[in-house]
């Protein structure tokens, strides 16, 4: 496992170089220039300070949104699988399909209209930290999409596991259904779900772009949008590299977690 992790870390270097090169070519191939704007572009030191100041905000928001997606999506998918072909399953499927089909900027707009303007329960924007009430709407808007994806995959994976022979054997031996799901089925069903959980980081990041901009969260996703609209190529390259590194690290952690869920992978 140590050799595997070391190899993956080495592969990050050429991967980041490719991402940087492609991003550089794309942004310089687009028409326009930062010098076309009225204001002079920021200095390199100021841009580094901007990334350093906004990255912790986006990391906190992203981690909280991903935890929300896991805490909500996995139990919802498991419940839908256990209650297969019942009204609970149909309702969960409707909710998950709606969550997957609705973009993050639509979700955050609806949440602002309903919870802030309609019911006056939450502020319409701003950021005072991850434990403030202003973080509720961004977390719901960003995390609900990945939660729906995790619920769909958990349901399909658990249904497949529940049809295996060893599960039927456990039923024949008189093991309680709840114990079968908790002790035998769920662990095996989580292996593909872990893969999806790592992939959903892309949904969290892309969702954060628009949610941070609409809700006024001072995160790196908002800086990414501002760098695109302002043609600030250096800041754009910096934010893209940060996002690429985050995705690579999460994918590595996802692969490492396979060894704990499936011992066969650890001993290969």
Confirm whether 140 is domain-assigned: yes
pLDDT band at 42 (very low <50, low <70, confident <90, very high): low
Residue 1 pLDDT more than 50? yes
Residue 118 pLDDT more than 60? yes
Q: Which residue has the tokens 């220039």?
A: 33
pLDDT band at 183 (very low <50, low <70, confident <90, very high): confident
> How many domains in the chain?
1
Q: Which residue has the tokens 């590194």?
A: 245
* pLDDT higher at 111 or 8: 111
- Mean pLDDT on 236-255: 81
Q: Which residue has the tokens 């202003």?
A: 134
User: Which range has the top average pLDDT, 58-62, 74-78, 178-182?
Assistant: 74-78
268/263 Cα distance (integer angstroms): 9
Confirm whether 41 is domain-assigned: no
Residue 22 pLDDT more than 70? yes
Return the pLDDT at 148.
Answer: 92
Confirm whether 105 is domain-assigned: yes
Return the pLDDT at 223.
Answer: 81
The domain containing residue 178 runs over which residues? 59-218
Reported as a single tens digit per residue, the pLDDT across 8-17 is: 788 888 888 8
Q: Which residue has the tokens 């969290």?
A: 204
242 contact partners, CB below 8 Å, separation of at least 6: 51, 55, 220
* pLDDT higher at 122 or 238: 122
pLDDT band at 43 (very low <50, low <70, confident <90, very high): low
Confirm whether 206 is domain-assigned: yes
CATH number of the domain residue 200 falls in: 1.10.3720.10
pLDDT band at 263 (very low <50, low <70, confident <90, very high): low
Confirm whether 141 is domain-assigned: yes
Return the pLDDT at 140.
Answer: 93
CA atoms within 13 A on the CB side of 89: 12
Return the pLDDT at 38.
Answer: 46
Reported as a single tens digit per residue, the pLDDT across 191-236 is: 777 777 777 777 787 778 888 888 888 888 888 887 777 777 777 7
Return the pLDDT at 114.
Answer: 92
Confirm whether 143 is domain-assigned: yes
Confirm whether 85 is domain-assigned: yes
Structure tokens at 22: 């492609």
Confirm whether 134 is domain-assigned: yes
Return the pLDDT at 253.
Answer: 79
161/264 Cα distance (integer angstroms): 17
- Mean pLDDT on 141-154: 90
**Count of CB atoms within 10 A of residue 10's CB?**
10
């Amino acid at each position: 496992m140590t050799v595997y992790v070391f190899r993956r870390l080495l592969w990050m270097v050429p991967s980041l170089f490719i991402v940087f090169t492609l991003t550089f070519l794309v942004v310089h191939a687009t028409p326009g220039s930062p010098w076309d704007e009225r204001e002079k572009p920021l200095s390199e030191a100021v841009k580094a300070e901007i990334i350093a100041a906004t990255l912790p905000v986006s990391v906190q928001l992203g981690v909280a949104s991903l935890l929300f997606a896991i805490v909500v999506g996995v139990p919802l998918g498991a419940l839908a699988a256990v209650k297969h072909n019942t009204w609970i399953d149909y309702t969960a499927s409707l909710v998950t399909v709606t969550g997957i089909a609705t973009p993050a900027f639509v979700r955050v707009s609806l949440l602002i209209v309903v919870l802030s303007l309609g019911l006056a329960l939450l502020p319409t924007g701003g950021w005072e930290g991850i434990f403030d009430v202003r973080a509720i709407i961004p977390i719901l808007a960003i995390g609900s999409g990945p939660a729906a994806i995790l619920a769909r995959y958990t349901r399909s994976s658990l249904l497949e596991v529940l049809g295996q022979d060893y599960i039927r054997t456990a039923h024949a031996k008189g093991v309680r259904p709840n114990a079968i799901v908790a002790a035998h089925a769920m662990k095996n069903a989580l292996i593909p779900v872990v893969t999806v959980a790592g992939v959903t980081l892309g949904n969290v990041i892309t969702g954060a772009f628009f949610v941070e901009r609409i809700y006024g969260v001072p995160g790196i996703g908002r800086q990414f949008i501002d760098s695109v609209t302002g043609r600030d190529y250096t800041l754009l390259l910096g934010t893209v590299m940060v996002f690429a590194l985050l995705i690579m690290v999460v994918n590595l952690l996802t692969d490492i977690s396979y060894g704990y869920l499936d011992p066969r992978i650890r001993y290969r």
